[in-house]
Amino acid sequence: MGSDDERNEGVDAAEQPSVQVTWVGHATVAIDIGGVRIVTDPALTRRLAHLRRRVPEVDLGSVDLVLISHLHMDHLHGRSLQRVSSGARLVAPRGARPLVSGCGFATIDDIDRGDVIEHCGVRIEAVHAEHGHRRGPHSRLAAPPVGYVIEAGGSRIYFPGDTDLHPQMQRLGRIDLALLPIWGWGPTLGELHLDPSSAATAAEWLGSAAVVPIHWGTYSPVRVGRGSPTGLDRPIAAFRERLDLIGRAGSLVGLDPGGSVIVDASGVRTAHR
């Protein structure tokens, strides 16, 4: 396999299309390039089991490709998948098919770590993730979790899904934009997740020019009374502090749900926060 420079040899950087990356909320990210829309781990509904969405619901419109990282309900959610399935292609870890086959997708790809797919000129590689394999305590379904490296328009974007730190992060090659989970949906965080401290370490290992923190501040458990619980913004504040301590505060691009960045030959810049 050739290097990024070899693959792009003879292509003027100015001719490479820009990529717009929008954080929709939780682990849901929309990646738009040349009229193609890719969406990760759709979690779109007001209620998700015992969780309530604390930011506005989103209509993603026409979606071409959906990437699923693992089986947990806040990443593989049937009702959310049905909202984006019309005419779309789904890519999910091998073992997920019983959960997605009835959601209405045009095609379904079962992938393993190391597999590469191409879609309308976008190259997507499934990479290791250090996370739980099972759907949940009341299901026997299991599948190896994955992250994705998405190459489009000459740029490389890393979406880890849910993961803890793992050494393969240091061997992913050049990453222009890292979409790093920094928390979850509750007041505490279970095992095999990145938290603000370990996510900062991941940012250091990856060496990416820009980091967008995801998987925080979107859902929380249903509670008595009105309004959102306090502390939803604590993970981003702690992450910013940790990045500052290791000298990487300049790489942070903090977005609100619905905020976007543009990735192109000139680098990464904010479209709207």
Closest CA to 78 of 62, 59, 102: 102
Look-up: residue for tokens 């009374």?
225
The H or E element spanning position 265 is none
- Mean pLDDT, all residues of the chain: 92
pLDDT tens, position by position, 206-226: 999 999 999 999 999 997 666
pLDDT tens, position by position, 117-164: 999 999 999 999 999 998 988 888 999 999 999 999 899 999 999 999
Inter-residue contact 230 to 239 (CB < 8 Å): no
Look-up: residue for tokens 């222009």?
176
For residues 209 and 133, what is the distance between their CA atoms, to the nearest angstrom?
31
Q: What percent of the chain has pLDDT over 90?
A: 80
Selected residue with higher pLDDT from 7 and 55: 55
Residue 267: other Cβ atoms inside 10 A: 13
Selected residue with higher pLDDT from 189 and 265: 189
pTM score, whole prediction: 0.92
